[in-house]
Amino acid sequence: MSDRAVDNVGALLRRLSRLPHRKITDAFALVVHHKSAGSFGAIAGLAIACIFAWKLLSPSSGRRAGDRRKDRASSSTSLAETGNESPASEGNLPIGPLTDANAVEDVASAVELTLGQIVRKRLGGCRRITCQLLGIILEEKTPEELQKHATVKLPVLPVIKEICKHCDLYLMETVVDNESEQRVLSALDNSGIFLYSGLIKDKVLFCSTETGRTSFVRQLESDWHVDSNLDIISQLSRFIRFQLYISQMESGQIAPNMFTSTSLEQFFS
């Protein structure tokens, strides 16, 4: 009987060694239900052996868990050190934080539009645009000045080029004689406007009165008209989708479909 009890104790110890985390209560349950264990002395001896085995195994597993934690910590430290050193080993320069001024400049440059984008945005799908010459395309302000000379405003040329890419552009002016017409056409030709913008001479119209310019605009059924004469702007407000009034006294948008600007290039800036 005692030999069989010893055998049972040995089998239990081997099972405990394979399953160190099993609860001691499971071991007691095994002995109680094992009918061949017999006496209480064998049970007491078994309990002492179980306690001894548990205390013997627990520190070692605790040490192993601690070792694993130390290994993980040391490996994390080595990885962090390696990550910190890798940019230098690869020859990369460290990148410092952006200042507020730099951040603002980056955002501003990211949203900055080109002249072509501004023209498309402003005109909003315009099909045809008509524009007065005096004071807008030309430096001269009156028809009488055109009898002596005609000078194209150079800053407006890039705007005219972009407008011609997206719209059908017509230029028009009131003149007092045929020589003024030829003087204007010659000035436009010398500026290169017919060469790179796609504008042709047939789209430069002349008339002898302000009323004639109003008739041109209505007949062409333009979507936009640009003029420096407020009376013409007012007369066309019922017929033209949008108008731009060029005046040195800029007053913003004077009507839902009427805008003001000091110059054509300023409006598209």
Residue 162 belongs to domain with CATH number:
3.40.50.1000
Q: What is the predicted pLDDT for the residue at 197?
A: 82
- Residue 127: which residues within 8 A CB-CB, separation 6 or more? 167, 168, 223
**Residue 39 shares a structural domain with residue 132:** no
pLDDT for position 252: 62
My answer on whether 161 and 250 are in the same domain is yes
Is the residue at 200 inside a domain?
yes
178: CB partners within 8 A, 6+ apart: none
pLDDT number for residue 253:
64
Pair 127, 63 in one domain: no
Same domain membership, residue 133 and residue 56: no
Domain span holding position 27: 2-81
Predicted confidence (pLDDT) per residue in 40-58, tens digit: 566 666 667 667 666 666 5
Q: Which of 27, 62, 81 corresponds to the end of one domain?
A: 81
pLDDT at res. 68: 52
Per-residue model confidence (pLDDT) at position 101:
36
> Could you say which residues of the chain have pLDDT below 70?
1-47, 49-50, 52-110, 250-253
Answer yes or no: do 118 and 228 share one domain.
yes
126 and 71 within one domain: no
pLDDT digits (tens, 9 = 90+) for 14-40: 665 555 445 545 544 554 455 444 555
- How many domains does the chain contain in total? 2
Q: What is the pLDDT of residue 246?
A: 95
